[in-house]
Chains A and B, each alone.
Chain A
Amino acid sequence: AQSVTQLGSHVSVSEGALVLLRCNYSSSVPPYLFWYVQYPNQGLQLLLKYTSAATLVKGINDFEAEFKKSETSFHLTKPSAHMSDAAEYFCAVTRYSSASKIIFGSGTRLSIRP
């Protein structure tokens, strides 16, 4: 069965600092992985997705994530944090079953310090 674990429910960084949000997955088959962002009282927006074409995936707003099979990880990074990056971030993995569904992690709230 597939699952995803996000390490750290809350991460705080200074404006301009590196952002690193951690995600580890469990899957017995090659996974499809996603990162979504949610701003307060809004729906989720796709940041990027991994579909095995390349291990380093670039997304919107300068975010990127690297798929590391040996570490079963798909961490999200951004070189320089902006105040507008403050939001909740969800890692997700496709659940293989009779119909495709996505399993979401519990989320990491990112705060940006001025």
Chain B
Amino acid sequence: DGGITQSPKYLFRKEGQNVTLSCEQNLNHDAMYWYRQDPGQGLRLIYYSQIVNDFQKGDIAEGYSVSREKKESFPLTVTSAQKNPTAFYLCASSMGTGESYEQYFGPGTRLTVT
């Protein structure tokens, strides 16, 4: 079955540590996205990538970094510079970057930093 996998489902880290969230897709989609979701809020775009070896900052990129070395993979690193990293992180992909393309989402990773 085609889809997006995110691992792990739950992640716990101590403050000051960097942590990397995994996102893999086997849909052969060109574009991939990372969102952050906080309680009672919509999704906020962190980073997106239209093609391998290229990515752009979204609305809240500070304290985060990404890479896109393979079409299938788009890992997100939450650095110690992110002031409030505890949140639900969602990865998504789309066939292309045309306006009508919907995004497909992974199951999410809940990160808790203490």
Contact = CB atoms under 8 A, between A and B. Distances in A.
Contacts of B110: 41
Contacts, number: 62
A36 B107 CA distance: 14
Contacts of B33: 101
Chain B: number of interface residues, binned into ranges: 20 to 34
A96 interface: yes
Contacts of B101: 100
A51 B98 CA distance: 12
Interface of B: 4, 6, 31, 33, 40-43, 45, 48, 50, 56, 58, 88, 90, 92, 94, 96-108, 110
Interface of A: 9, 32, 34, 36, 41-46, 49, 51, 90, 94, 96, 98-102, 104-107
